Amino acid sequence: MVSKLSLITLAALVTLATSCAFEGCDGCKKMVDDVKVRFNNNFSNVDDEELRQALETECKLLEKPDEQNPKKCVYSCGRYVYNLPVRMLAPLKAGEDSVKVCMAAEQCQ
């Protein structure tokens, strides 16, 4: 039987997990836009690992608590961005906008 405390704890974790500024479509678009600036929108010589490191750096900037994101995120940026470069690199190299890049990464619909 599930206790009330377990349900409350689960609800709190879900709330925290969904409050991370780096998650979802908007967070993805922000990170992609920032990474495009970082690489001067030239991804011709960028590999998965370089992109992963850049995304993780941008993600950590979004992860820090502030007025828009007052709660500490449950999931780390490293786990969040680990598989994204494989899906993002081809659209970035093709010059796609941040929405299409994030759609390829399954972060936007």
pLDDT number for residue 10: 38
Contacts of 62 (CB under 8 A, 6+ apart): 20, 21, 22, 27, 30, 31, 69, 77
Query: What distance, in Å, lies between the first and last C-alpha atoms of the chain?
Result: 37
pLDDT band at 14 (very low <50, low <70, confident <90, very high): very low
- What are the residue ranges spanned by the domains of the chain? 4-104
Q: Flag whether the pTM goes above 0.85.
A: no
pLDDT number for residue 74: 55
Give tens-digit pLDDT for 30-85: 899 999 999 999 999 999 999 999 998 888 777 766 665 555 565 677 777 888 89
- Locate 26 and state its tokens: 């908007």
pLDDT number for residue 63: 72
